[in-house]
């Protein structure tokens, strides 16, 4: 299932070590995760403070309705959450599967996920060079993360499913009304022609948020908003917010060249 990030040969797990036929070895941490990233720098992905802020917000389950919707669409034997972060979605969705994997470049996020979820094998690694065999995964989820569509295509089995989740047009619109003089709706995502579109749905719930600053920390608006806008958010004790998500389900073509008209 897993491959060596150095030579791309299959990895075999022996006790707490993954090893390939060329004797490259990768030890599991005591929490159970394995680091298969080829870039061993310290600051990839979310740091410890960012992971804590994200975890504190997610564990209040504002997004659970979306998580349960995605879980209802996810099936098969082998599951991968690509860009799993601290495992909020992975742990729940992974219960549908015999084998569950989560990959993220943030070691801090993977460390947190591994402590909470022993069913899933967590991996530190890149979404654009994932250490999985070709055509080895039944179902992949990508939830609010960059989309490495070519790499996903490589690792998906024929007839495998890729579930992509992003913000809907009205996601957090009330927060934008606080931040900006002229709030805007998000654009709908483009449909990826490399895959067969199975379904696309917009799901929405309105919820009262009592930690608005934590919500802001979850969004890209935090880093492109004026200080005046940030100050307005800090003054809020609570805010009713629309949580809206676009959930797109793709299927890997049985015969890509035939489907693409080649």
Residues of each annotated binding site: 4, 7, 20, 24, 63, 171
Q: Tell me the binding residues for Zn(2+).
A: 4, 7, 20, 24
The first and second tokens of residue 45, run together, are: 């992905």
How are the residues of the chain apportioned to helix, strand and coil, as percentages rounded to the nearest 5?
Answer: 30, 30, 40
Give the integer Cα–Cα distance in Å for 43 and 123.
Answer: 16
Give the integer Cα–Cα distance in Å for 170 and 68.
Answer: 20
Contact 241, 207 (CB under 8 A): yes
DSSP 193: T
The CA-atom distances, in angstroms, between 141 and each of 55, 79, 205, 212, 255 are 19, 8, 21, 27, 22
Give the count of beta carbons closer than 10 Å to the beta carbon of residue 126.
19
Q: What is the CA radius of gyration of the chain?
A: 19
Q: Tell me the binding residues for S-adenosyl-L-methionine.
A: 63, 171
Instruction: Provide the b/e sequence for 212-236 (b: ≥16 CB within 10 Å).
Output: bebbbbbbebeeebeeebeeebeeb
Write down the residue that tokens 């159970």 correspond to.
32
Give the count of beta carbons closer than 10 Å to the beta carbon of residue 18.
22
């Amino acid at each position: 299932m897993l491959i060596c990030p150095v030579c791309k040969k299959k990895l075999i797990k022996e006790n707490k070590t993954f090893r390939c036929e060329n004797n490259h070895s990768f030890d599991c941490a005591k929490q159970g995760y394995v680091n298969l990233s080829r870039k061993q720098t310290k600051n990839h992905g979310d740091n410890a403070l960012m992971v804590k802020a994200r975890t504190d917000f997610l564990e209040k389950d504002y997004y659970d309705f979306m998580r349960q919707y995605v879980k209802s669409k996810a099936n098969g034997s082998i599951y991968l959450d690509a860009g799993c972060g601290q495992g909020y979605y992975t742990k729940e969705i992974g219960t549908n599967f015999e084998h569950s994997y989560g990959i993220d470049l943030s070691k801090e996020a993977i460390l947190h996920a591994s402590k909470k979820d022993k069913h899933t094998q967590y991996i530190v690694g890149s979404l654009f060079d994932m250490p999985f065999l070709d055509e080895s995964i039944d179902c992949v989820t990508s939830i609010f993360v960059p989309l490495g569509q070519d790499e996903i295509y490589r690792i998906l089995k024929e007839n495998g499913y890729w579930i992509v989740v992003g913000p809907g047009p009205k996601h957090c619109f009330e927060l934008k009304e606080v931040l900006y003089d002229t709030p805007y709706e998000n654009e709908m995502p483009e449909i990826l022609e490399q895959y067969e579109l199975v379904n696309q749905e917009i799901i929405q719930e309105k919820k009262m948020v009592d930690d608005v600053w934590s919500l802001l920390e979850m969004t890209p608006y935090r880093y492109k908003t004026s200080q005046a806008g940030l100050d307005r958010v800090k003054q809020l004790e609570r805010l009713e917010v629309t949580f809206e998500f676009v959930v797109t389900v793709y299927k890997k073509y049985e015969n890509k060249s035939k489907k693409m008209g080649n």
